[in-house]
Chain A
Amino acid sequence: MEASLRETEKEKTRTRSKSEEFRFRLKPELLIRMHDFMVKSRVLEERQIRMYKQSDGYFWIGGPGEEAFNVPLAMLCKKGQGLDYDFFHLHYRSAAIMTVLGLDPADAFRQMKNTATDPFSGGRNFSNHFSKKEWNVVPVSSTIETQYVTAIGTAIAQKRHGGSGITVVNGGDAGSAEGEFASSLIWSSRPGNELPMLIIVTNNEWGISTPAKTQHGDSRISDRGKAFGMKTLTINGNDVEESYTHLKECIDYIRKERKPVLIEAKVSRLYGHSSATGCNFAADEEDCLAVFEKRLEKAGVLSRAKMDQIRENYVKTMLEVSQQVKQEPMPDPSTIYDHVYANQKGRYW
């Protein structure tokens, strides 16, 4: 009898621990919003991948697997145009950031399909190479890490302007080997001229096909910021709550102190580098959305059925939108000279 009681107590303890394991510190409303954005972004990119596989676009590259970090990041940023708002110097794995900022999925598909209606590049650039002046999203470039030096300039302008606008720059772990990454650490921490920059490295431990552990001896990329006296941290970017909590603390600090933070987020790369490597689901990587949904269900925030419904709705909508976009025209060859210079139309010389 006594043994049986002890077993019951043990079972209760186990149950409590398990329940606590899934408990959130953030409010349900916030969790539900973040989940919705994560699903929307994931489904959008999976639709892009399908478009690529159906030959509706020449190339896909994106960021499924970075949603748990990118969604809270964008939710904590100030969207707008000009120095009072946050500037974004993004790499091509930032669809979730744009989704939160208000990306129209049709526009993402337009760029995927290289249509004349692609508002980010007029059919000139790869998928997820966003550009939107109205939101301070500077043109995304395929050059690895140049965004870390262009970010210096907007941050200088913001520091001089005052206010609370900050510059956000992100890139990958492999690219941290480029000189621009070192430049951003040096320039953002000049004594007396520290810059309001959130310097992000999303570390998926790959550089196309090359494992990071074969090329990088630094155990934590964020430690490189310590030499410059800046606030640094490495977090689990697959945990949405951890990401939100740390990002909020960092962004609040930068807005107030006008000094840089280097944050390294450990994330997954769920569909490989790009279509060049097949863009097939990587089952051996942790899926931040699956992890989040499991917790949401166990914590009683959202039911499995509800989450399935949310996903199905987005799948249906994205399919419809992508089919509409497929009907849109390709760019006219006569436009190749447009915008080589400001306000230029047609061949200049």
Chain B
Amino acid sequence: MATMVQAIRMALHYGETHLGVTDIFGEDVGPPLGGVFTATQGLKKSWNSPLDERGIIGAAIGLGLAGNRCVAEIQFCDYIYNTIDLLKLAGMQCWSSNGDWNLPMTVMTPVGSGIRGSIYHSHSFDATMTHIPGWKIVMPSNPQDAYGLMIACLKDPNPTMYLKPKALMRIKGTEPIPGEPPLTPEGERQLKEMIDAPLSARESWKPKWPDLTDYTVELGKAKTVRSGEQITVVSYGRTLPLCAQASDQLKEEGISVEVIDLRTLWPYDWSHISESILKTGRVLFVNEDTEVTNFGEHLVRRTVEDHFYSLEARPRLLAGEFVPGVGLADPLEMASVPQLGSIMQAIREVVQERA
């Protein structure tokens, strides 16, 4: 019953012990803090860097070019924007050198709303990141996928971007991570004692890692988390559990909702989505990044181009409002990004529409 942040930490530990990870670094990533969300506590290869995002991404590129395997963290994705040209540079190393160089490196960064993070701790990054070719981009929605997607990133010979939905960092898994204690309250307590650093006396603390094994979620593979007949809902990250919840609740209204967890944003699993749309004839894409030039807009375009004559209603996108930031006050945050209510309402509208 690991939380998502524990799952990420365990995957990184698996990486440093089995996959040749040489460096896990960024601001406050090393001891004593081990990351502002504790994702890097107790890791042997973790270290603190200067407060310099461009230096962090640049160093990661250099480590990758040197044949090392690193994971670099940008503390919040709100602070990754000043590295855009370096992300572009990383994404083109293989292409611009005509295949002479490849660049194995992973960048992870917390994204999205949900912790009342105000203007500069609530941004999303999927819309911007999916504009940069040469990267593989993932965003998990549960601890088991968080573990398996991280391991997939660490095995890939290309730049990989691991987006951590911060609202889900403390959710508990319902599916086991290979090697973790039993999924019981006792197992949960046991794991916490093993790998969560105490609040005090951290200098002498050492984690006791479970006997972790390989579990890889193949990049580019989506997963159907709810089966349904009337509409396909495609989401990822924070909004995915809300979509699953909406599916469960709408059953009572007689609406059958299929929910797909995209998991990998690039390369995305179009055949999986496509098959579902052809079955239901209706589709809603849900994410919380701002709605203009949103990644979901691309998926809508693909839907129109490939399945226009098979659709029974207009394809829809439910995304964040196109405002400069997410306001701190509770009503402001709730109104800025999709919530359970707005997702359910959007599903009803698509299902009720008659073409």
From 100 to 134 in chain B, residues with beta carbon under 8 angstroms from any chain A beta carbon are 100-102, 133-134
CA distance A141 to B58 in the complex (A): 13
> For the complex, what is the distance from the CA of A44 to the CA of B52, rounded to whole Å?
40
Number of B residues with CB within 8 Å of any CB on chain A: 41
Q: Taking the complex as formed, is B32 at the interface, i.e. its CB lies under 8 A from any CB of chain A?
A: no
Q: Is the CB of B99 within 8 A of A338?
A: yes
**A120 part of interface (Cβ distance < 8 Å):** yes
Number of interface residues of A (CB under 8 A): 48
Which residues of B lie under 8 Å from residue A133 when comparing CB positions?
97, 100-101
Please name all residues of chain A whose beta carbon is closer than 8 Å to the beta carbon of B54 when the two chains form the complex: 149, 179-180, 183
Residues of A within 8 A of B23 (CB): 156
Cα distance A63–B256 in the bound complex, in angstroms: 67
Query: Is the CB–CB distance between A153 and B94 below 8 Å?
Result: no
CB distance from A59 to the nearest CB of B (A): 15
Interface string of A104-139 (1 = CB under 8 A from B): 000000000000001111101100010111000011
A164 to B298 alpha-carbon distance, docked (Å): 50
The reply to whether B86 and A149 contact each other, CB–CB distance below 8 Å, is yes
Chain A residues in 8 Å Cβ range of B7: none
| B62, A153: Cβ atoms closer than 8 Å | yes
Interchain CB contact under 8 A, B101 and A150: no
Contacts of A160 in B (CB 8 A): 22
Instruction: Say whether B93 faces chain A, with CB atoms less than 8 Å apart.
Output: yes
Q: Whose C-beta in chain B lies nearest to the C-beta of A349?
A: B267
Q: Which of A133, A148, A348 has the most CB of B within 10 A?
A: A133
Chain A residues whose C-beta falls within 8 Å of the C-beta of B93 in the assembled complex: 138-139
Q: How far is the CA of A1 from the CA of B281 in the complex (A)?
A: 116
Q: Which residue of B lies closest to A180 (CB)?
A: B54
Residue B68 at the chain A interface, CB threshold 8 Å = yes
Which residues of A, 132-185, contact B by the 8 Å Cβ criterion? 132-133, 138-139, 141, 143, 146, 148-158, 160, 167, 179-180, 183
Smallest Cβ-Cβ distance to B72: which chain A residue: A153
Name the one of A89, A190, A341 contacting B94, with C-beta atoms under 8 angstroms: A341
Judge whether A82 is part of the interface by a CB distance below 8 angstroms. Answer: yes
Q: Does B349 contact A (CB under 8 A)?
A: no
Q: Does B65 contact A342, Cβ atoms closer than 8 Å?
A: no
Given A120-B97, A124-B95, A146-B58, are A141 and B89 also a contact pair (CB < 8 Å)?
A: yes
CA distance A338 to B49 in the complex (A): 35
CB distance from B80 to the nearest CB of A (A): 14
A83 at interface by CB-CB < 8 Å: yes
Distance of A339 Cα from B267 Cα, bound (Å): 15
| B111 nearest CB across to chain A (Å) | 23
Asked if A120 and B133 make an inter-chain contact with CB atoms under 8 angstroms apart, the answer reads no
Query: Are A152 and B58 in contact, with the CB atoms below 8 A?
Result: yes
Whether, in the assembled complex, B67 has its beta carbon less than 8 Å from a beta carbon of chain A, the answer is yes
Residues in B whose Cβ lies below 8 Å from that of A22: none
Chain A residues with Cβ under 8 A from B95's Cβ?
Answer: 124, 338-340
Query: Given the complex, which residues of B lie within 8 Å of A149, measured CB to CB?
Result: 54-55, 57-59, 61-62, 86
Q: How distant is the Cα of A256 from the Cα of B243 in the complex, in angstroms?
A: 60
Q: Does A235 contact B (CB under 8 A)?
A: no
B190-238 interface (Cβ within 8 A of A)? none
**Is B311 at the interface (CB under 8 A from chain A)?**
no
- The answer to the question of B85 belonging to the interface, with a C-beta cut-off of 8 Å to chain A, is yes
Q: Please tell me if B66 contacts chain A, counting CB pairs below 8 Å.
A: yes
Cross-interface CB contact of A83 among B66, B98, B136, cutoff 8 Å: B66
Is A186 a contact partner of B50 (Cβ separation < 8 A)? yes
Which B residues are in CB contact (< 8 Å) with A121? Answer: 96-98
B158 on interface, CB distance cutoff 8 Å: yes
* A187 and B66 contact, CB distance less than 8 A: no
Given contacts A124-B95, A340-B133, are A82 and B60 in contact (CB under 8 A)?
no
Q: 19 additional contacts, CB 8 Å, given A139-B101, A341-B136?
A: A82-B67, A89-B62, A119-B98, A120-B98, A121-B96, A124-B95, A124-B98, A149-B58, A153-B64, A154-B63, A154-B65, A155-B62, A156-B68, A157-B66, A158-B66, A179-B54, A180-B55, A338-B98, A342-B102
Complex A-B: 23 CB contacts under 8 Å: A83-B66, A119-B100, A120-B97, A120-B100, A129-B96, A131-B96, A131-B100, A131-B101, A143-B85, A146-B85, A149-B54, A149-B57, A150-B58, A150-B59, A156-B59, A156-B66, A157-B66, A158-B66, A180-B54, A183-B50, A183-B52, A187-B55, A339-B97
Which 6 A-B residue pairs are closest in the complex by CB-CB distance?
A153-B62, A149-B58, A122-B98, A157-B66, A342-B102, A339-B99
